[in-house]
Amino acid sequence: MFYIVGIGPGPGYITERAIQILQEVECIFYEDYTGPLDVATLRRYARVEPVKLARRDLEDESGRKIFECLQEGKKAALVTAGDPMLATSHAALITLAKAKGYSVEVVPGVSIICAAFSASCLSIYKLGGVATVTYPRGGVYSVRPYELVEQNLARGLHTLLLLDIRDDGVFMSPRDAAEVLLTLEGRERRGVFTRDRRVVVVSKLGWGGSVLYAPLGEIVQSEMEGPAVFIVPAGLNPVERECIKTFSK
Amino acid sequence: MFYIVGIGPGPGYITERAIQILQEVECIFYEDYTGPLDVATLRRYARVEPVKLARRDLEDESGRKIFECLQEGKKAALVTAGDPMLATSHAALITLAKAKGYSVEVVPGVSIICAAFSASCLSIYKLGGVATVTYPRGGVYSVRPYELVEQNLARGLHTLLLLDIRDDGVFMSPRDAAEVLLTLEGRERRGVFTRDRRVVVVSKLGWGGSVLYAPLGEIVQSEMEGPAVFIVPAGLNPVERECIKTFSK
């Protein structure tokens, strides 16, 4: 039996079912390269010492260590931050496990994608897609956030922007993200990410973080730390407008 | 202090933070008209007997009973299924509580919106919006699901369809939902909800339910019960296609 378990975006979000599995299985693996894993909570409930896996273990080696455990007839769990499937590439692992004849249970966790809407009282019904703000790779900036937000603004839809994780595991700060977006505006010049574009910043959810609604020109000077996500709202309805005011700066 | 707490889509999904609050507050209210509340779990952790509120208590009377508790200087929690903000109209309540000077903490829970994507290994990055399949009211069918899915299919985006809850609290079954969609096709005739349109059905998540990928023509003959949601997928990538096969009928 192979469990793939999300324990939420930060302390306090682990679910009853996740706890039950951590107390039951003989092998526990975790990864923290797709999100900010709450390792203290994981250790508090784990029946055995959790083993950290790197991206190469899961992708290049197709989760070999997990399958070694399963082959011995033991139960194994792979633990991730947030929801285990939404922002990760673990779907291939599930397909592989099923092809090898193992039962698989996915244990959904609180995802930052849904929780960011919940924390900012914006309507997820108007989510028009998700993109990631990335550091330039080899000097090249991804224009995907610019194009998606541009389309969604025209359609009155909100856009969720995830922020990059550096190769050394550091989460992009809201300031760095604002800087990337302003740089994109400097190149594209279609008025999407001007300094007065107001965005919602949900930072460090579950880790004593905050929700803020402020212009990019202010966020680029802020000291907030990651992990964080941005929501670029469009076409606010009266309830959203009233509620979001309470986070405004 | 006013807490608004989601305990997830079914048994096993309650979080550590939600449990902590239920053991701390002096007044506990809940509503089950926006989703399938796991009342057994709520009672197991509640320090005081939970009081059920109807839609009229929260909307017409603006949560009067909750504010009566808060006015006595006590801490109060309003508990909902899923995430407390995503599919409900409780944002107005938060705005009101803040206007009255109370501190508010939203405790995000596992939402069916995110969990349905997680359970079916479809990419939420391609979510193009959410609509609700409703029973006809006064003989009139809402064409919103038809129009949204039509737009999203053209753009290669997935659509999440929530299913109606009848006024007597019964959740629409997948069969009834398929029947509504086929009826819409009979009227609109643009090929969106044909009998061979394959959709993902996530039913009774956390309540021993299942995930199925099948044509509407089969779902309309199925015996699955609600609560359930549909995802109408578009533009599957290779990982999604492989993974979704494992649920296919």
Q: Is B240 on the interface with A (CB under 8 A)?
A: yes
pLDDT over threshold 90, residue A188: yes
Give the tens place of pLDDT for each residue, B8-65.
999 999 999 999 999 999 999 999 988 889 999 999 999 999 999 998 999 888 899 9
- Do B228 and B119 belong to one domain? yes
Of the three residues A48, A72, A107, the one that is the final residue of a domain is: A107
Q: B149 touching A, CB under 8 A?
A: no
Quick one: B59 and B139 in the same domain?
Answer: no
Report the distance separating Cα A75 and Cα A98, nearest Å.
14
Q: Do B130 and A129 touch (CB under 8 A)?
A: no
| Same domain, yes or no: B160 and B221 | yes
Per-residue pLDDT tens over the stretch B50-100: 999 998 999 888 899 999 999 999 999 999 999 998 866 788 898 899 999
Judgement on whether residues A149 and A221 belong to the same structural domain of the protein: yes
Query: Last residue of some domain: A73, A90, A107?
Result: A107
pLDDT at A243: 83
CATH number at residue A17: 3.40.1010.10
In the annotated binding site of A for S-adenosyl-L-methionine, the residues are: 83, 86, 111-112, 163, 205
| pLDDT, position A46 | 97
Q: Can you tell me the mean pLDDT for B204-226? A: 92
Q: Domain check: are A69 and A140 in the same one?
A: no
Neighbouring C-alpha atoms within 13 Å toward the C-beta of A62: 9
* Chain B contact set for A16 (CB, 8 A): 11-14, 41
Looking at chain B, the whole-number percentage of residues with pLDDT higher than 70 is 99
Looking at residue A198, what is its pLDDT? 95
Do B39 and B122 share a structural domain?
A: no
Q: Which of B96, B125, B205, B237 to mutate to test the interface with A (most CBs of A within 10 A)?
A: B125
> Residue A133's closest CA among A68, A40, A49, A229?
A229
Based on the fold, state whether residues A176 and A195 are members of the same structural domain.
yes
Read off the pLDDT of each residue in A18-32 and give the average, rounded to a whole number. Answer: 97
Question: Does A95 lie in the same domain as A150?
Answer: no
Give exposure, B188-214, as e/b (b: 16+ Cβ within 10 Å): eeeebbeeebbbbbbbbbbeebebbbb
Whether A91 contacts chain B with CB within 8 A? yes
**Is residue B163 scored above 70 in pLDDT?**
yes
Cβ contacts of B124 on chain A, cutoff 8 Å: 86, 111, 113, 130
If pLDDT is split at 50, 70 and 90, which confidence band does A221 have? very high
φ, ψ dihedrals at A160, nearest 5°: -95, 130
Same domain, A127 and A71: no
Q: How many Cβ atoms are within 10 Å of A34's Cβ, its own excluded?
A: 18
Mutant choice from B2, B44, B62, B86 vs A, greatest count of A C-beta within 10 A: B86
Say which CATH number the domain at A158 has: 3.30.950.10
Residue span of the structural domain in which A75 resides: 2-107
* Cα distance between residue A78 and residue A76, in whole Å: 7
- Tell which wins on pLDDT, A87 or A129: A129
Q: Does B226 touch chain A (CB under 8 A)?
A: no
Helix (H, G, I), strand (E, B) or coil at A100: coil
What pairs with residue B127 in β-bridges?
A: B158
Cβ A126–B129 below 8 Å, yes or no?
A: yes
Q: What is the separation of C-alpha A224 from the centre of its chain, rounded to a whole number of angstroms?
A: 17
Kindly state whether residues A116 and A222 are assigned to the same domain: yes
Looking at the fold, whether A233 and A122 belong to one and the same domain comes out as yes
Domain end residue (candidates: A79, A107, A135) = A107
B91-99 and B64-71 helices cross at what angle (nearest 10)?
30
Residue B168 sits at the chain A interface (C-beta within 8 Å)? no
Q: What is the rounded (10 degree) CA torsion for B185, B191, B194, B199?
A: -110
Residue A173 has what pLDDT?
96
Closest CA to B159 of B133, B184, B127: B127
pLDDT at A60 over 70: yes
How many separate domains does chain A show? 2
Distance in angstroms (rounded) separating the CA atoms of residues B181 and B147: 11
Residues A45, A131 within the same domain: no
A33 touches A55 (CB < 8 A): yes
